[in-house]
Each structure stands twice: as C-alpha cells, then as structure tokens.
Amino acid sequence: MFQTQLNDQIAQAQAKAVETAKHLAQVAVESAQELAEINQAAAKDALAAAQDTSSQLLAIKDPQQLAKLAQPEAAQEAAKYAAAYQAKVNQVVRNGNKEVAQVVDASIDDARADLVKFVKEATKTAPAGAEAFVSAFQTAFDASLQQFDQVRATATDAFANFEKSVDAALANIQGQYAGKSSKKSAAKLAA
C-alpha cells in the first residue's frame, strides 16, 4: 500500500512539473512575441524616419537648410523614442519575470504541501514500536522544511537582482545615448 501511495504521489508530482514547465514555456513564448512586436514596430519607425531624413537631405539646396536639419531637437526626439522603446522592453521583461517568480513561488508551496502530506501519511501507517524512529524522523523533517523558506528567499533575491540588472543596463544605455546627444548639442552650440 505504501508503495502505491508513493508511486501515485510521484506521478502527481511529475504531472505538476510538466504543467509548470508548459506554463513557463508559454510565458517565454509570449514574452518573445511581445519583444518581437516591439522590435518590428521599432524597425518600421526607424525605416520611416530614415526615409524621411533621406528625403529631407535630398531636398537641401543650401547649407542653412542643412543646419536646420541638424538641430538639438532632433537628437532629443531620438532620445525620447529610445527611452520609450526601452520602457516597453523593460515592461515585457518585468512582466515575464513577475510571472516566473509567481510560478516558482507556487511550485515551492505545492512541493512543500505535497511533502508534508506524504510524510503525514507515511508516519500514520508506521508499524507499532516505531514511535521513536517516527519522532526522530519528524524532527529531522520539520528542520528540513525550513529549507523551503530558504529556497523561496533565494529565488526572490534572484528575481530582484535580475530586475536590478535590467534596470542598470537600461539606465546605462540611456546614459550613453543621452551623453552622445548632449555632446552633439554642445558641439553644435559651440560651432
């Protein structure tokens, strides 16, 4: 009977793991689709802007018109566009990260609950005279349950650090782009 219970619980755990993997794969696919849509829109916008700029450059008749095209406002507009693009990407990453964190958290809860249920069932059917062993096992088991909380804390830290890394990378990119735009603007003003 114990072996049958064990086999059933292993089968249930495997089924849950498969469902969790499917869900995580779906999250990854949805995030990839959102990023692809954002990148496709950005590519279309960049192509349209390049075509517009090319048309304007071809229409230039004198140097004053060229100077009007090279105004700081154009660089600021590009910086705003880049910031909006990065915000969209950041939101997709954050949403995917949040979903994965929720799945991991729920999986930890499920695994803990299943293990507690299994141990309770197993200790109820312990043979007579095994009370000392069951008590010692239960004490060790209770101590091991604390590891679930440690795994949860580690996972939470990992997700938080990932988001901080994404934020830092985006801030770095924005800082570099803003720095180039400011340098160009300053150079134009000095000339």
**Which 3-state string (H, E, C) describes 92-109?**
HHHHHHHHHHHHHHHHHH
**49/25 Cα distance (integer angstroms):** 36
**7/1 Cα distance (integer angstroms):** 10
Tens digit of each residue's pLDDT (9 = 90 or more) over 148-179: 788 888 888 888 888 888 778 777 876 766 55
pTM, entire model: 0.65
Tens digit of each residue's pLDDT (9 = 90 or more) over 18-66: 888 898 899 889 999 999 999 899 889 888 888 887 887 788 788 777 7
Long-range contacts of 35-42 (CB under 8 A, 24+ apart): 35/89, 35/92, 38/85, 38/88, 38/89, 38/92, 42/85
